[in-house]
Amino acid sequence: MAQPVVIAVTNQKGGVGKTTTSINLSYCLAQAGKNVLLIDFDPQGNATSGLGVDKQGLEKTVLDVIQNTLPLSAVTLSTEYKNLSLVPATPELANAEVELARAERRFTRLKDAIAGYDGYDYIIIDSPPSLSLLTVNGMIAANYVLLPVQAEFYALEGLGQLLETIQLIRKGMNPTLELLGVLVTMLDSRTTLSQQVYDEVKKHFPGKVFETAIPRNVRIAEAPSHGEPVGAYDKWCKGARAYKTLSKEVVTRVGQTRS
């Protein structure tokens, strides 16, 4: 089987839509017939609970993989959704930062774990809101970064640091890492501010902003409390349709950059 396409969903700001995008992009790719593995790489474990998995009592998580105690296959759960598997996270994942502070090969733990893990077309990594060891592990393991930015006044603030980190990783441990695209999230089409932010993001990242923007949509915000991707919660709402369109754009872009 061909190597999976590995996408790290990254932005060191919290609340910009990383987890929402990781869950819903994974779900839509899976619905389209791709075999998808979603790796929850944030100690908050929101991608885990957002897919309806109870974090209480989970004994095997991505932390075991990062500690080199278990292979990815041993911590992979199947979900209620066809073609979609999950590697869960719990708050203990926060320990990795300290534990691995001086460990050998600490930056490539996830990359090493993914190598040779067959059977997936796409691996989506939901990153924590920091430029931490975990985030860097995610970007070293990935072929692409997908960068969600929230359509708000401070959207571009702090992104310089993230782009510098991507550059450093390209110069060092992952020369082929690419920015797949910038995704504008929580766009409120009724406000001119939202539109201005969208235009500004496009100016800042020429050719990189996805045509699809994710609208602010209450169904998207409700779905995680039901443990469901929005497409399962309310298939026809605006948010579900936007993520479906995004997933097609992602597949197209991946195809273009690989050929």
Ligand X SMILES: Nc1ncnc2c1ncn2[C@@H]1O[C@H](COP(=O)(O)OP(=O)(O)O)[C@@H](O)[C@H]1O
216 binds ligand X (CB under 6 A): yes
Interface residues for Mg ion in 27-86 (CB under 5 A)? 46
The residue (of 168 and 218) whose beta carbon lies closer to ligand X is 218
Q: Dihedral of CA 21/229/97/103: which sign?
A: negative
18 binds Mg ion (CB under 5 A): yes
Coil/strand/helix, residue 96:
helix
Least Å distance, CB 175 to Mg ion, is 28
The residue (of 35 and 137) whose beta carbon lies closer to ligand X is 137
The residue (of 121 and 138) whose beta carbon lies closer to ligand X is 138
Question: Count of residues binding Mg ion (CB under 5 A)?
Answer: 3
Task: Give the length of the chain.
Answer: 259
16 binds ligand X (CB under 6 A): yes
19, 22, 28, 31 alpha-carbon torsion, rounded to 10°: -100
- Residue whose tokens read 């001086």: 102
- Residue 208 identity (one-letter amino acid): K
In the chain, count H helices and then E strands: 12, 7
Instruction: Draw the binding track, 162-201, toward ligand X (x: CB under 6 A; -: no contact).
Output: -----------------------xx---------------
15 binds ligand X (CB under 6 A): yes
The residue (of 18 and 216) whose beta carbon lies closer to Mg ion is 18
Both ends of the chain: CA-CA distance in Å?
A: 18
19 binds Mg ion (CB under 5 A): yes
Helix axis angle for 133-141 and 159-171, nearest 10°, is 50
Point out the residue whose Cβ comes nearest to Mg ion: 19
239 binds ligand X (CB under 6 A): yes
State how far the alpha carbon of 22 is from the alpha carbons of 47, 64, 101, 125, 206, in Å.
7, 21, 27, 7, 23
- Residue 178 identity (one-letter amino acid): E
20 binds ligand X (CB under 6 A): yes
For 142, residues 6+ apart whose C-beta sits below 8 A from its C-beta are 6, 7, 8, 125, 174, 177
Least Å distance, CB 205 to ligand X, is 18
217 binds ligand X (CB under 6 A): yes
Least Å distance, CB 15 to Mg ion, is 8
The phi and psi torsions of 40 (rounded to 5 degrees) equal -80, 115
49 binds ligand X (CB under 6 A): no
Q: In the complex, which residues of this chain contact ligand X (CB under 6 A)?
A: 14-20, 46, 129, 185-186, 214, 216-217, 220-221, 224, 239
Contact residues for Mg ion, defined by CB under 5 A: 18-19, 46
